[in-house]
Structure 1
Amino acid sequence: MGGPTNNGGIVFQWLKEVLGEKEVQQALASGGSPYDLLTQLAQGVKPGADGLLFLPFLNGERAPYWDANARGSFIGLTLSHQKPHMIRAGLEGVIFSMYSIGEALERLAGSPANIFASGGFARSPLWLQILTDIFGHEVQVPVSHQSSAWGAAWFGLYALGEVSSLSAIKESIPMKETYTPNSVNHDFYNELYQTYSQLYFALKPHFSELATLQRGK
């Protein structure tokens, strides 16, 4: 059981390409990562990005809306918002989207006993803290963020008879660290999510109209 999303790391990549020209140049000169530089900017912004929300549907969306016409949106922009706010709102928007999938799964299967984070975003301490603060649940991070590759390798080991069962993989996943939610941040994010969760439905008719316009180019 699960829920797929079209808009995870690709959102951060888009933010880097649109807003991160300076950071890309700095990273090329220093040998660092533009994503780390952009994350440092977002780190300096308070949770909630001073009331700026981002719907991360840059590529349509699958779960929980199943709507190819869904579109990305910054909501709440003011003159006081700068690039760091937009980066932070983008990172938070991706996790709010994941949380909406989590809500749908909870209705079917109940509350999670454990949350594990893997994939490229799991290399970002800020993104992981946003995740645990929004979900209000401890998040465990394996040593390797490539869990899909590890699962595929385990299937191979099982086929070769090198391991006893598929479920035995649970005993062979070394954990790196655990992130603990900040209760104040969680309460704030929970309040902000009430607005986020209504925005898709409020904007859906306009998404459809805009998608039709875009396809008619």
Structure 2
Amino acid sequence: MTDAGTGLPSGLTMAWSRPVGWILDHLVYRTTVTGRTNVPTGGPVIFAGNHISFLDGPVMFGAAPRPMHILVKQEMFKGLLGRVLTASGQLPVDRRGDRAALQRCKDVLDAGRCVGILPEGTRGSGAASDINGGVAWLALNSGAPVVPVAILGTRQGDEHLDFVPRPGRRFHVSFGAALTLARRAGETGRASMDRAAQDIRAALAGHVQDTIQLSGQPLPSAGDQDLTAVAGDAGR
């Protein structure tokens, strides 16, 4: 479902999907949400979350104080699940690198909406020790602030990357202080991208560690990596 004339996901997609996200967070699971006041109340926002489970995107979606369109690997857009993702306004991305998906995200941000991305690209420990360049490209080219999002509890200990938590598990989602990035005079595009990516990585990693200390909820062990890259190095 798209808005006529823009090609962007229809705003109507949020009318049903946001309540479903809230139900997932607060009725199926027990999610504590902190830092909502750190999210700008208007204008475009990039939500950048750490990645430990396939539930991270839906949990972040349900916890956020504003609706967002999340980048989801294109392989998920098949069958019934694909129809649900499309109907809820999510955005497909080729995990091998996808400039078109990033441009569509920029169009969404230019329209004053919010985009969600899991910039680590692969499910792992969630410590944000490395991120891909897509989120830096979006931040620099849209001017949208980046809000780091710590997501804890969706996977614990040595649980498999595909593990589905039983209903009632406690999750913790925390929204950190917004970070605004811009190109500097005399700085090359390559240098701007590298600096922005490092600043975002440091902000996300630091916020994850702060949230662990405040919540007492640890990250899981890294486990095997699942190739779910979000936008790869597209746009570099």
TM-score tier, shorter chain, comes to under 0.3
Structure number having the greater strand percentage: 2
Structure having greater relative contact order (Cα 8 Å, sep ≥ 6): 2
Higher gyration radius (CA):
1
Structure number having the greater helix percentage: 1
TM-score by length of 1: 0.28
